[in-house]
Amino acid sequence: MTQATVHFPRGFLWGTATAAHQVEGNNTNNSWYRWEQNGHIKDQAGLACDWWGGRWKEDMDRAAETSQNAHRFSVEWSRIQPEPERWDEDALERYRMMARGMVERGITPLVTLHHFSDPLWLYDRCGWEMPGIAPAFEKYARKVVEALKEYVTTWVTINEPNLYALNGYVTGAFPGCAQGFGAALRVLANLLRGHAAAYRAIHEIQPEARVGYALHYRPMLAARPWFPLDVLMRNIQYAGVNMAFPSAISTGVMKSPMGNVRIPEVKGLQDYLGINYYSVDTVKFDITNRKELFGKRYYPAGSDLSTTKFIANTPNGLFDTLKWATTSYPNLPLLVTENGVEDDDDKMRPRYIAQHIHQMWRAVNYNWPVKGYFYWTLVDNFEWERGWTQRFGLWGLDRETQARTRRSSADLYADICTENGLSSEMVAKYCPEVLQKIFPD
């Protein structure tokens, strides 16, 4: 058997990612709470992982004890600004304690300002369609940065602006407002304006800050590369899902089939690119799928699928994603801000982790500036429109008792974080089925 270890550069960040509404519990003043109450999904976030009740401490102990040195979490706008004219200093203080608690445990905190949930006062005004949203977001960003700047220097302004706009304003899977491409484009434009305003404000307060956003990026293949309609659909979906936000940041213009929107103030405003990568999509022409402009994204038969078939294990796609990122933005630092899989019995997760980290190592080997990796997620949590049906955690969660159960993936990830690399012994121990793929004889 080949014996080898692949290593990552010194100082590489190894962590997990979470989001406020998914872990805190008792968030009753935001868009998702209303959405759950109105019965749009079967489940409710409820107590979630009870982080607001203080269980973030025991979970951060878990992260630290398993050699993680970073954690990406989000702050909940509706807690910090419960009403347009009211700021909650106690909530800010609680987030300060969390960030300090991470630093005390040797964990570098990365903070996301907006991760899908909006305060009700904003949701009632159509969320990011509201005129004047960018300055409102800037005010909120200033409050958060003033409160946390002692402990935090890396900021994610907005998580997955593309999915927020698409799911909230086109497919209807997320709380949103008026449905349609026009609305989604107005929302995307405002998210870009909000990002620009927050970027400048954060740098004003903290010149050394590193500010970026987290892009949900999906490589896409035409189902039948010889069939022009599949290729066309692939190109339309690729442009709409992946490119609208990053290309506007590159050029200052958001391009769309419905006309271009000039947002010159956003041009070039990113200090790193955050990438949330999960799977590669195959796209085919589908006359029945009007909502998504007649394109259907799916995983081909024979894919290595997760429990609810939500994710296909396509590790090469992470390499391709990092290649796209570094080609588009030479020398811009890259962070894998999310990557993970839902897997009830933890059979697939070890190979998913090992294979993706191996592909990330290939990218690092080309000297592409990948600086860190955040597995989604630490403990099973509330998965948006899919509720509690999906288990992404390194630790399992019993919602009745709040007990956590360590999965064998947590051991594999601990070994990777400790080694700052991946070895053939780890693969042989946790996922021997892919040993020949990762470390061939």
Helix%, strand%, coil% for the chain, nearest 5:
45, 20, 40
Per-residue CA distances from 423 to 9, 15, 70, 355 (Å) = 15, 18, 21, 12
Q: Indicate whether 292 belongs to the interface with ligand FCB (CB under 6 A).
A: no
Neighbouring residues of 367: CB distance < 8 A, sequence distance ≥ 6 = none
Question: Minimum CB separation from ligand FCB for residue 383, in Å?
Answer: 5
Please identify, using beta-carbon distances, which residue of 125 and 216 lies nearer to ligand FCB.
216
Comparing CA positions, the residue from 18, 32, 73 lying closest to residue 384 is: 32
Between CA 239 and CA 35 the distance in angstroms is: 29
Selected from 276, 314, 355, 409, the binder of ligand FCB by CB under 6 A is 276
Q: Indicate whether 385 belongs to the interface with ligand FCB (CB under 6 A).
A: no
Between CA 154 and CA 73 the distance in angstroms is: 11
Selected from 216, 234, 349, 371, the binder of ligand FCB by CB under 6 A is 216
Residue nearest to ligand FCB (CB): 19
User: Which of the stretches 7-15, 159-167, 220-228, 239-247 binds ligand FCB when contact is defined by CB under 6 A?
Assistant: 159-167
The region, left, alpha or beta by phi > 0 then psi within -120 to 50, assigned to residue 39 is left
Q: Indicate whether 346 belongs to the interface with ligand FCB (CB under 6 A).
A: no
Question: Minimum CB separation from ligand FCB for residue 386, in Å?
Answer: 8
Selected from 19, 189, 222, 248, the binder of ligand FCB by CB under 6 A is 19
Question: Minimum CB separation from ligand FCB for residue 278, in Å?
Answer: 7
Question: Minimum CB separation from ligand FCB for residue 117, in Å?
Answer: 10
The structure tokens 């997990």 sit at: 16
| DSSP three-state, residue 248 | helix
Comparing CA positions, the residue from 55, 151, 145 lying closest to residue 107 is: 151
Please identify, using beta-carbon distances, which residue of 108 and 276 lies nearer to ligand FCB.
276
Q: Is 44 exposed, middle or buried (0-12, 13-18, 19+ CB in 10 A)?
A: middle
Q: Indicate whether 217 belongs to the interface with ligand FCB (CB under 6 A).
A: no
Question: Minimum CB separation from ligand FCB for residue 306, in Å?
Answer: 10
Please identify, using beta-carbon distances, which residue of 76 and 160 lies nearer to ligand FCB.
160
Selected from 272, 384, 388, 395, the binder of ligand FCB by CB under 6 A is 384
Site for ligand FCB in 162-181 (CB under 6 A): 163
Torsions phi, psi for 20 (to 5 deg): -50, -55
**Token couple for 329:** 């933005």
CA 237, distance to chain mean position in Å, is 20
Please identify, using beta-carbon distances, which residue of 78 and 206 lies nearer to ligand FCB.
78
Q: Indicate whether 71 belongs to the interface with ligand FCB (CB under 6 A).
A: no
Please identify, using beta-carbon distances, which residue of 96 and 386 lies nearer to ligand FCB.
386
List residues bridging with 73 in a β-sheet.
Answer: 111
Question: Minimum CB separation from ligand FCB for residue 280, in Å?
Answer: 15
Q: Indicate whether 230 belongs to the interface with ligand FCB (CB under 6 A).
A: no
Site for ligand FCB in 300-339 (CB under 6 A): 338
Between CA 127 and CA 139 the distance in angstroms is: 16
Please identify, using beta-carbon distances, which residue of 22 and 237 lies nearer to ligand FCB.
22
The structure tokens 């398993």 sit at: 66
Helices (H), 124-160: 133-148
| DSSP three-state, residue 103 | helix
List residues bridging with 339 in a β-sheet.
Answer: 375
Q: Indicate whether 159 belongs to the interface with ligand FCB (CB under 6 A).
A: yes
The torsion defined by the Cα of 116, 363, 238 and 241, in degrees rounded to 10, comes to 10
* 210 membership: H or E segment, kind and range: strand 210-216
Per-residue CA distances from 134 to 31, 111, 125, 241, 311 (Å) = 18, 19, 14, 22, 33
Cα angle 156-17-348, degrees, rounded to a multiple of 5: 140
Using CB under 6 A as the binding criterion, the count of chain residues that bind ligand FCB stands at 12
Helices (H), 278-315: none
Q: Indicate whether 380 belongs to the interface with ligand FCB (CB under 6 A).
A: no
Q: Indicate whether 281 belongs to the interface with ligand FCB (CB under 6 A).
A: no
Torsions phi, psi for 336 (to 5 deg): -85, 95
User: Which of the stretches 57-65, 242-250, 313-321, 376-384 binds ligand FCB when contact is defined by CB under 6 A?
Assistant: 376-384
Question: Minimum CB separation from ligand FCB for residue 230, in Å?
Answer: 25
Selected from 140, 245, 376, 439, the binder of ligand FCB by CB under 6 A is 376
Selected from 36, 346, 383, 415, the binder of ligand FCB by CB under 6 A is 383
Question: Minimum CB separation from ligand FCB for residue 72, in Å?
Answer: 10
Please identify, using beta-carbon distances, which residue of 19 and 263 lies nearer to ligand FCB.
19
Please identify, using beta-carbon distances, which residue of 125 and 349 lies nearer to ligand FCB.
349
Contact footprint for ligand FCB (CB under 6 A): 19, 22, 159-160, 163, 216, 276, 338, 376, 383-384, 392
